[in-house]
Structures are given as structure tokens and as C-alpha cells.
Structure 1
């Protein structure tokens, strides 16, 4: 029975200190969805007997069938907390005992990392779930890095503790050392990626209460504080002091009843003596059906068991007793409320990195103060398909102001530029309806104040995937999300029945809306291409396209990898191109960008919108740019955000600034469709060396300049040793030491190379990290499993771009064969045009 109503929820929405917006993040199969079941059961959304097995947040059929989360799902929950749980908070830090937790359960599989990014943007805190046996894995690091980059504060839930006790049969001291090591690993990541100057210095420490332990499957869990609260009265010690003694190097002597800092005979670690011992005794007694012992221990702990519950046996008895004694939902809830920030706190330090405009305008001030009376600012991070086909809820976070039904708002797409008088990315519309998202369903609501998460209806006509909504006329956009994965795998789709083409085109539009990462491209050759992050991501997208969005049978090509064109040397001459009317001349060269700069552009460290003096200083200090040319960067490309630069290196050219826009347009065209095979360009700096421009404006229009610019940039690339770049996965493989030979064989056959190998001291397991080109990754998992008898578990995550070996202009090399293959696929002439086709002579 749901223990709250929309009216009750709406009332608490006004209490900024009592809201927690959190995302649950982790590596795949570490137990996120299983744990969220317990939180849903405590809020009355599902029955407590189903918690741990229902996977209520997996709302799609394929999620339930595959047993993994595919889409991040939002739900609003309301709780009433006991006074003793709130005692560490100061009086001004909360308002009443009712709390709203807006929770987003996110996927753990690397192919769906974009869903994690979308979830993190609208939340302020993250519950990081780590399997006590597997520890910190590659995706744990990826999602934690994403969270800390967005200035999201984490807490840690150590799941599957029961596996350490029963499956691994570790002693209490070994369990402590294992948990301590994992917590230290997470703290190392936090120290690397967090910004201490803004968010404060926070470490995860069980003795503070921001780490919980438990078993989501069996519904039990605890924080050190719960045990400290229980023992505080008995020992007559303050709860906070006792928490510090129950973790770390604090030892207790049962004979002398004293505490000490050093181990020795008769001294037992506080965690082992007061936490693990009673826990293990209760678990073993319940599992082994020692009912008298269970009843006796339950009475000591103050647990009341009904006669019906006492009749249970084995695992059922264990679950009943443990849930009553140490409920995992209470442990998680206490950690979320006490150690994660409210919107009022979080927006003070998050606004600086979220808002693109001046940080002293009305919108920025209202966001920082989380002011419900200020101008409306909403960031829409993703589109959620509604129950009725074809319509989407825009999932957004209200950062300032209050959004209400019928309100007239400015809907700004990601490309919106506030400096333009008229912008095609701006729509002024009214909001017809809004809702609170509840997992697979929704509840209508009249208005929502800042600090909350909301689903807007009717906005999907104007936004494709994400955007900003405001009522402030001079509002700037909120920063675009940076994804940790790239859509590097693509397939061509066509309808089985040619008459269904309009349905396919409409279905592709809906598919593009429904996923933050997927790209649907309709090429000039009539091909419809779907780009995804990996094989599984594409499989899910294509299934959705066929069964949900287009509802027609489709045919799919074999997967194709997207490549990038680049250069590896400076042009061997200054290239010249004349306009069609021969009255204008452009001179240019190309050269590779310094190592590391394309990655900084991708990560948003170097951008087109930052202050040019600050950017110039950064390029001069870190990448040895010339101080003059670093200030004369005209634009980035493609889309004014890609990893290529156009630099004005000319000296006193007349009328140059009159044709700047058309020169930039030519550059953008070239960076989207390179000279070798019309793939995007990456890591190239083009310098405009000189120009002769006709003084009559009618002779220097776009039709003359843009093709000339394209040809001069093509010829400058052809003279700068052009090459191809391919995407590379970082593969993390966990396997027993005995099958290492098989793993290395598979990797070497697929051009993979090992970069790190580590062995676990406690188990005969090995962890290998290797780089594997995406081109070689198709069928990699199947081959690895067949070679190792299913004992190796790989996880691939996009890591970087690398240059393909060989000369791109030599068809016998690997790079040349890739160019030929792509040209053939795109229907381009098999032979590359000669340099003379682009290079003009005076």
C-alpha cells in the first residue's frame, strides 16, 4: 500500500531541506535494482515480501528477461523518519520528519553509460553500489568519475556481504581487510576526480556513517551507526565516539573491558567483536534452523517474532529475522538523508559548472539560492516514452522558480545562442501538463517548485533529446552533458517492405528521442544508419525500433565501425585554391594537433565558448602554441565543438572578415566529411595562411568561397600524410590464473595488447586490462568464452582513438584497405581523387 498521496508529496516539495535527489550507480550486476526494491517496499510501492526479487525498477520486458537494467528509471518516494535517526542534523538542516527521495535507478552495463550521465545531471547525490567480492570494477570507476565531474556527492553501499561469509568463508578479520581495501580504492578515485575546493574534503568512512554494508537480495543491511546506537546505552558511551571505535584500528579486550589501539592476545578488533560476531551468529543460526538460538538472540536485540515467523525455515527464516533486526532500507535511507545534500545545499556549488551564462544574472542567482520565486530554469536530460505510443515525457530538474500547468516558457535547444536576434532553436510555448514519474507510471501534478524532478508533457515536439526551459528572457543554456562513451558502432537499417519507408523514418525519429546516446542518420545515398555505443546497445535500439517505434519488420546490415580521418605531419607546401569565378584565392596548410588536445576538447576543458585569453594562456602553457595564433582560433569543428581547429595565420588581408562566415562554413563541411572517405575529421589544425579577395561583394559570396575553402583544406590534408583513426575499447577481463594463455591468444589474434595484469592475493583470480580495437571486438565475448570454457568475463568500455597502422593512400596497407572499404560502402568512386583535383596553380 503506497503510504503517501500526491497532495502529501506536493506539500513536502516546498521544504527544500527535506528533498534528496539521488542516482544509484554501479558496475553491472552489483545489485542496484535489487537494493532499490527495499527502498520501494519501505515507501509502500511494492510488498516487502517481493523486495529483492521483483526488480520493480526494471519496467521493460527485456530488462526482466535479461536481468539487467537498460534504461534509467525515475521514481519519487516519501518517508517518515524517526527522531533518533535525524539527531546528527542541525535544527536548521531539516523541516519536519517527512522526506522526499527522488531516486533514479541507472544501468551498470557500459553500453548504457549515457543513461547514467542523464540521471546524474538531474540529481545531487549518488549511492555507489559495490559488490564486496568483486570490488571496484572498470564501470564503477567510470560512473564515479562521471558523478564527481558533475559535482555529485557519493555515499557507498557495500552489497553482497553474505557472499563473503558463506561463499568465500572468510574470517571476520579477512572480511574487514577486504572491505577496508575496497573503501580505500573508492576513496582514491574520489581524491583523483573530486574538486575539494568547492565540495569540501569528503572521504567515505564507515565510522562517519556514509558507508553501509548488507545484502540487497535478502533485505538486510546496516551502517556502523545502527550498531553504535544499540551499544551506546549499554556502554554508556556517546554514539559518535562509539562509531569511531567500531571501525579501524580499535581493539577491545573482553577480560579487562578496555579499548586499545594495538592488536595482541586477548584484544579483538571492535568491528569483529561487536558487528561481525553477532551478525554471523544470527545468520548461521537462522540458516541452520537453530530456532532456540534465533529466538534467544532476537529477544536480546529487541526483535519481536510472530509465531508464524518462527515456523519459517532456512533462508526464509534468515530473511524474516534479518529484515526485522537490520533492514537494508533503513540503513540506506539514513545514509541518503544524513550524508547526501539537499538541492538548497548542492545548487550553491553546482550552479557554476551547470550554467553557461554570466554567474551574476537573475537565472544564475536564483539557481544558486534554489529560489522558488525566481525565474524558471529547468534542464531536460532525457525523454521518457509514455504509455501512449509516440509521446514522451521530458524528464527534467527544476533548478529555480516554479513550473505550473499552462505556463508560457522559452524552450531552448542545445544549439541555442542568446546573442542571436532570431534563433531557430528557441520556441515560446505553454506547458500543457506535467507529472511526477513513478517508475513505469506517472501521477499528474499541478505545479512543481525548484529542487524537484518533473516529467513535462508536450515538450517533446520542440526538443530532440535534451535542452533548457526558462521564463527569463536573457537566460543562457545549461551546459550540455558530456558522455563517457561514443556511438562508435553503426548498422544500416531498411524496411523489409519498401512501402513501410515513412513508418521507418518516423520510427527512427522516435528512437533518436528515446535514447540520449543513439544517433539516427539518413544519408544522401538513401541509407538509414543507427549508431550506438556497442553491440548490446545496438541490439536493444534495433529491437525497440522494430517493436515499439516503427512497428514494422526491418533488415539490418552487419555492424560497421565509425572511423575518423586525421593527418600525421605538416603539409609539405602551402596549398592554393581558386573560387569558381577565379577572382578569389585561398591559401592553407594542415598539421596534427598536439597530443592530448583533442581529448581536452572532447572533455570540455578547451571550448569554443570560453574566454579567448584564458584559452590562449592554456594552449601556450600546455601545448606549446604560438601566443599569436592561439588568440586567432576562428572556430572548432565539426559543430563548433569538435576536436579540430581553424586558425587565422594570415597577415593584413583586405576584406577577410567580410567572408569569415563562409570560410567557417567551408571548414565545418570539411570536418564533417573528410577527403579520404567522407568520415569526420579528428585532431587536425588548419591554418588559413593567406587570401586574395575581390573587393566587390557580389564576387565573394558563399557559392564562390565555400567550395574553394573545401578544396584548399582537402589539398592541405592530402599533402600532410593523411591517415585513419579507429576507436579502441579498454577491456577488463576477470578470469582464473589457469586460463591466462587462452585469454592472451584471443587478444593477440585481434590486435589487442595487454596494459595491466593484477592477481588477487586471496583468490586464484586475475584481472587483465587490455586495449582492443572496436573493429576486432565483434564476437570477441563469444570467442573468449569458447576458448576459456566460459570462465573469463570481459567488460568493454570505449577508451580512446588511435591511428590505424599504414599509409591511408596505399591501398595495400590496413589503413588503405579501410578507406577502400568505406568508399565502397558509401558508393564513392573506388579510387581516391588525385591531389591535382583539389590543388590549383597560380
Structure 2
């Protein structure tokens, strides 16, 4: 039975300074779900004995079977917390446990958007891994405050057989790596967010055994026992502070003049008692561990005393250093409440002006202000028929039956597209696999909404006022670059499949379900092999109820098209009625400008004069041309990497034709000339135009195909190239496996970019770049070549140029183009200028 009631949670929701919204983030298998169990057990939802093994936040059967988290899971917990027993105050912790596998990084992004703090879990033995860096970078870009949990300290003691001093060096090195990442990626307008054991922002422990401690916890124990200020003990229990037993004083020197050594404060006062407890219990020395238990005033139950070995050790350590107590101290004291966090997060979240009514309400975390809710993901109900819209109330109060405006991800301020007005049927609290209904939820809290799932595909903003800008869309660290095509065996089942695909697309923040009308293909795109496997399993079992038989194609990769040179001449295209002519030039967009677009320094909704000045001053563009940027493309994606600008002089009727030409541009951006893949890094300049005087003869049917043909012509004479997606692969392997790793990489066009031996261990960290197209079957191949000793982790890194001419059918890129065109049902062969000569 939980130690709290729903009424206590609801009451605490009104005290914004007593709320903490936090995510648990880490590399795969570093122990997030296991650690979370300690907090769940302390709240009374599961027993202390089950903590570490129950994995309460792994709610799906396949999560339990695979032993990894697949979907982020929210749970609201209530605690009475206070450092002194007589001053305990109720705190509400809205906790989200997120996945660590790179294929599910989008779930981490969705969790971070609705939380203000992040518990970063690091396995002390493995240290900072590639996904630790990814999730920490995401947290810092969202202005989420990190605290650190050094997990699996029991492995350092039992497996590595470390002394107190050796353990300290491992901890210090890992904390240094984390702080280096924080220093590199944190927003410079934020205060210093680096973690420090002396400040209490770093915890050490073992989630599986349910124990943890902070340096400040031990400082309080010793201050009470020996006297002195807590700050004095905290300072001496970390860093280069050694205890001279001869003189009975502290020093900063590890050795004395007479040759005797001094012991480090952390090793002597913190690690040694823990090491003694481990040694005595695991060697079954009842006399010695009995004395320690008496000293520490630990009382074992009859059931505990009957145990031995690791089970007894877990029971003792849970009583000696309860993990939840250390974690709660860190969460309550060092993570910000919504009223603090929203002051500095508002400008990053809200797309409108800072003096807007909604922005002010978000900054103040005003529960009486206009309602602003951001929905970060859709959570399927138990029967998978409907969805809870899961998100965060940033201002106002959301209530059952309330009439609200829903803005989808494609909504543009002032327009009515992707905009709905509906009633909320129910407001619920997410409690892991369960939900609890509440009447209303004020700002500063996470929330689940029922009845809006028909209008929100993945994310959206919900408000009660008409004059509200949406919350900024999330930027994912991964891209859905691996695709499969699905065909139903029985054509009658096609509507069921497509309905299932729509529901699958809702359920996952990063999956793309494309029903291509031109080619008749049903395509599902995922981040990697595992992500696709899970999505296809969900589609078949949950969203199609095992009622649809379908076949799945081999996975293929999403390439991109680009240009590498400017056109040497103007390309002219005629409309079908021969009454209109458009003259275009094409050019590539430089890497520097593309980077500025990706970092959203240059955007479509910027003031044109400000943008033009930046492009002219920083990137050498012609200021007159830069002022006449018409649009960016393709629309509907977070980062639009192509530009259409108008560089004509004295052309009549151009303004009336702008929309039609832009529509042609958007078609080109979505489907490039080589093989219908997305275009990136191309700039089209409209240099001249001859337009018919009668609007009837220069309508969309005439100008859209004309503009498209001209831009395709520009692409074909601008040295077009294909871009392929690249994984960054991090491999942990013994040094004797290097030959096998290099062999596998060479066979798959991979490049080893770094090789770092691990200090004190016969292991090395190898980082490589591997084309996504060559990654299928990579894991088993690598394990076969290294006798199962190498452990790879792939994370999407970037798109790289394929350095061969795609217009040559015998080149590597040309063969890819031919294969993609065949798969998509496009006209066979490599496209040539002659294919468009009836228009050019």
C-alpha cells in the first residue's frame, strides 16, 4: 500500500515550491530502472525487498523480457521529507524513468521537455559512455539541471576489488568526465551546473542493493559524533584532504616528512566502513559484522538474520545507507521547483514575445493565469484503443470538462491549420502502468489528458485563450533513417493496416508512418534496427490486434540529395501552355550557413532585415538578395535546409504567382531529382520571369510544374550528390580484439576515428563512423569476429557525402540511385536534363 493518498498529492500540487519534476537519464544498462525502485519502495508502492528487482517503471512485457527500458514512464510520488525528524514537509516528485538505448532517445527528449531536473546515472565501472553524453547534452539544451548518481559501487568493491583510495580515483575521474561535458554543453546564460560531491549534487551507491550515500550525509554523521561544523567535515571528506593519524590533524599532503603516509578523508571515513561491512558479511564473519551493526544501531528483522551472503548484505546496506534518503536529499535540495525553473526556461519554451500574457504566466508559474499545456508524447491505454496525452502544465489550471484550443506541431500563429477547439474529458495522474483520476491539475505538474488524442498526432500545445503562441517543438538527437515497406497479404486488410499505422505513429515520438499515394507503399521509418523491431511488433500485436497479415521488406536507409556547385547558366522552364517562363539559378548553401540554420540562428520566421544583415555580415551573402528570401523548405520538418529567393527586377504579376512557385519549391525539397529523397543544402534564385497578364493562364496548374522542372534542371547541372546517414559507433572491447574490429569496419566502409585504452583495465574504447546502410547485421558480425568480447553502441551522428557521381550508372552512388528509383516505382534509369526538355 502506498504511504500517501491522492488527496495529499492534490494538496501538494498547489504548493509549487514543494514540487520537483525530474527525469532519470543514462546510458543503457547503467541501472536507471533498478535505482528508481528504491524511490518507489520508499513511497510504499512496492516492498523494500523487491526494490532493485521489480523494475516497477518497466511496464511492458518486452521491457521485462529484454531487461531494457523501451518507453519513458511517469509516476507521481509523495514524500514527507526533512533533514531533521521534527521538520518533515510534504514534497511531490513527478518522476519519469527514461530509456538508455540510443534507438529510444526520442523518449528521453520527450521526458526532458516536461521536467526541470535530471538524475544522471553513471556506472562507475564503465564511466561516461556515448549515450550518457547524448542524453546529458539534450538535458542541458533544454536548460534542465543535472545531478549525478555514481551507480554500481558494489561492482567497484566486489569485482574490481578496489581499496578506498582506488575507488576514490575511479569516482573522481568519472565526475571529471561528467563535469567536462556539462561545461562544454551547458547554456552560457545559466549559472555553473557542474556537479560536486561537497555540495551534495553527487551521490554514490548501488541501485540493485538499494543503498546510496552523499558526502554531506557522512559529514552530518561525523559532525554529530566528533563535533565540528558540517561544512568542515564536508570539505575534508572529498578532494585532496588527508588525515594525519600521528598528529591527529588534517593535511593536504598524502605523505609526511618521516616517510609515513596519510589516508585520504574519503577513503578513511567513508569507503573503509563500507568495505569492512562488505568483507565481514560476504565472508560470514558474524562476530565482526555484528559489532558494526551495534555501532551503527542497525536492527535486523528475524527474516533478515536468516539470510546470508548478498541477500543479507542488501538488507543491511538498505538500513545503513537507504538509497531513497540520499536521492531525496539531492532531489529536494538541489533540483529546482517549477516556480524557479520556469523563470529561465520560459524564453526557450515559448515561441511568442517575452511580454506576452502567456509568457509572463509561464515565467511566474501562475495557476490563475491563461492555461498553457505542452503535450510531449501520447501514451496508449491498456487496451491500445485510445491515448492519454501526457505533458506538463506550464501555466493556469487544467480541469475535467474544460473547453480548450489545441495547437498541433504544424500550427502557425494566426492561422487556423492544425488548430481545434474541444473539451477535455478527464484529467489523470500517471502512476506507472496505472492512472489516477483527479478533477484538476495546476501549473508546475505533469498531467495526462483524456479526449484530445483524436486531434494530437505526437505533440501539441493546449491553451484556453485565442491569442497564444505554441510551445517550441522538440529537437531530437536521432533521426528515423532506417525504413521498411509493408504490404498486406489480403488487400481487404489495407484500411486496418493504415489505421494501425496511424495509431503507431501517435504512440512513438520518433517513428514515421508514410502512406505514399504516388508509389502505393506503406512505409515505417525508425531510428535503428531495434526501434523498427519494437515498432513492427507493436503494430502487429497492439494496433492491428494480430488481425492483419503483412510482409515486411528488407530495411533500407533514408538518403538525402544535395548539390556541390553553382549552376553555370540560367535554367529556363516554360509552362505547359507556353505563356509563362521562369529563369532559375541554383547554388549550394555553405556548411557555415547550414550550421546556423540547424542551431536556429537563421529561421523562416525571423525579421527579413535582421536575417539579411546576419547573412551579409557573417557569411558574405549579397544583402539585397538575402532580403528577398521567399521561403525555406521542406515545410513540416524541424530544420528546413533549402532556400528559395527572388532576385528579379521589374517583373509583373510576380507577387500573385509567389504561392504557386513556392509550392513547386516545396515539392522539389521533399522529393529531389535523383531518386525522390529529401533535398538539403540547395539555394534556388529566381532571376527572371515572363508571366501571362491573365491570372487564368498563370494559375497553380501552370506555374507549379514549371517551377519544379526549372529547379530540377538546376539540380542536374549543379553536380548533384547523395548524402548517406552515418552512425557513431562506440565499442568497448579487450585490447586483443582490435584486429577483428578493424576487419569488420573495413568490410563495411567504416572508419575508426579514435582508440583510447582504459586506465587500469585491459579494455579500450574505440570510436568509429559506420554508414547506416552497412549497419544491418553489424552486431552479430562484430561479436563473431571478436568471440563475443566487443560491445557496440550505435548512435546517429551525421549525413556524409558519397564521393561518386550519381549521374553515372556504374558508380557506387549511381547504383544506389537506380535501386531506390526501382523500389519507389519511379521512371527507370538515371535522370538526365533531356527528361525535362519539353519544359526547359
TM-score between both structures, scaled by the size of structure 1 = 0.97
The runs of 5 or more residues in structure 2 that have no matched partner are none
**Residue 528 (structure 1) aligned to one of 511, 522, 526:** 522
Q: CA deviation at 1:417?
A: 1.7
CA distance in 2, matches of 1:85, 1:204: 27
For residues 818-839 of structure 1, the C-alpha deviation after alignment (integer angstroms, 9 at most, x for no partner) is 0000011011121234313335
Aligned partner of 1:343 in structure 2 is 338
Taking the TM superposition and a 5 Å limit, the aligned residue runs for 1:237-248 are 237-248=228-239
Taking the TM superposition and a 5 Å limit, the aligned residue runs for 1:270-289 are 270-289=265-284
CA distance in 2, matches of 1:598, 1:386: 41
- Name the CA shift for 1:315/1:690 in 2 (closer, same or farther; >3 Å): same
Taking the TM superposition and a 5 Å limit, the aligned residue runs for 1:673-712 are 673-712=671-710
Say yes or no: does 1:105 pair with 2:97.
yes
Partner secondary structure for residue 500 of structure 1: helix
CA distance in 2, matches of 1:177, 1:798: 32
Partner secondary structure for residue 37 of structure 1: helix
Q: CA deviation at 1:599?
A: 4.2
CA distance in 2, matches of 1:479, 1:786: 45
CA distance in 2, matches of 1:550, 1:309: 48
CA distance in 2, matches of 1:691, 1:746: 54
Asked if structure 1 preserves the Cα contact closer than 8 Å seen for 2:814 and 2:830, the reply is: no
Q: CA deviation at 1:761?
A: 2.1
CA distance in 2, matches of 1:478, 1:160: 38
Say yes or no: does 1:650 pair with 2:648.
yes
CA distance in 2, matches of 1:350, 1:82: 28
Aligned partner of 2:760 in structure 1 is 762
Taking the TM superposition and a 5 Å limit, the aligned residue runs for 1:139-538 are 139-197=131-189, 199-264=190-255, 265-420=260-415, 423-524=416-517, 525-538=519-532
Asked if structure 1 preserves the Cα contact closer than 8 Å seen for 2:205 and 2:323, the reply is: yes
Aligned partner of 1:669 in structure 2 is 667
Q: CA deviation at 1:306?
A: 3.2
Asked if structure 2 preserves the Cα contact closer than 8 Å seen for 1:805 and 1:813, the reply is: no
CA distance in 1, matches of 2:731, 2:261: 42
Aligned partner of 1:69 in structure 2 is 69
Aligned partner of 2:576 in structure 1 is 580
Partner secondary structure for residue 207 of structure 1: helix
CA distance in 2, matches of 1:618, 1:304: 69
Partner secondary structure for residue 628 of structure 1: helix
Aligned partner of 1:559 in structure 2 is 555
Q: CA deviation at 1:696?
A: 2.4
Asked if structure 2 preserves the Cα contact closer than 8 Å seen for 1:584 and 1:691, the reply is: yes
Asked if structure 2 preserves the Cα contact closer than 8 Å seen for 1:38 and 1:328, the reply is: yes
CA distance in 1, matches of 2:792, 2:318: 35
Between 710-719 and 597-606, the greater mean CA deviation after superposition = 597-606
Partner secondary structure for residue 411 of structure 2: coil
CA distance in 2, matches of 1:141, 1:389: 34
CA distance in 2, matches of 1:613, 1:323: 63
Q: CA deviation at 1:242?
A: 1.3
Q: CA deviation at 1:580?
A: 1.8
Q: CA deviation at 1:618?
A: 3.6
Asked if structure 2 preserves the Cα contact closer than 8 Å seen for 1:83 and 1:97, the reply is: no
CA distance in 2, matches of 1:157, 1:587: 61
CA distance in 2, matches of 1:85, 1:169: 37
CA distance in 1, matches of 2:244, 2:612: 64
Q: CA deviation at 1:293?
A: 1.4
Q: CA deviation at 1:280?
A: 0.6
- Name the CA shift for 1:617/1:327 in 2 (closer, same or farther; >3 Å): farther
CA distance in 1, matches of 2:482, 2:103: 11
Between 545-554 and 509-518, the greater mean CA deviation after superposition = 545-554
CA distance in 2, matches of 1:324, 1:219: 9
Say yes or no: does 1:821 pair with 2:819.
yes
Aligned partner of 1:606 in structure 2 is 602
Partner secondary structure for residue 320 of structure 1: helix
Between 149-158 and 637-646, the greater mean CA deviation after superposition = 637-646
- Name the CA shift for 1:86/1:374 in 2 (closer, same or farther; >3 Å): farther
- Name the CA shift for 1:483/1:86 in 2 (closer, same or farther; >3 Å): farther
For residues 423-475 of structure 1, the C-alpha deviation after alignment (integer angstroms, 9 at most, x for no partner) is 13111111011100010110011000000000000110001000000012100
Asked if structure 1 preserves the Cα contact closer than 8 Å seen for 2:728 and 2:769, the reply is: yes
Asked if structure 2 preserves the Cα contact closer than 8 Å seen for 1:576 and 1:839, the reply is: no
For residues 100-146 of structure 1, the C-alpha deviation after alignment (integer angstroms, 9 at most, x for no partner) is 11000000000000000000000000000000000000000000000
CA distance in 1, matches of 2:779, 2:102: 14
- Name the CA shift for 1:692/1:754 in 2 (closer, same or farther; >3 Å): same
Aligned length in residues: 831
Aligned partner of 2:60 in structure 1 is 60
The runs of 5 or more residues in structure 1 that have no matched partner are 88-95
**Residue 738 (structure 1) aligned to one of 726, 736, 739:** 736
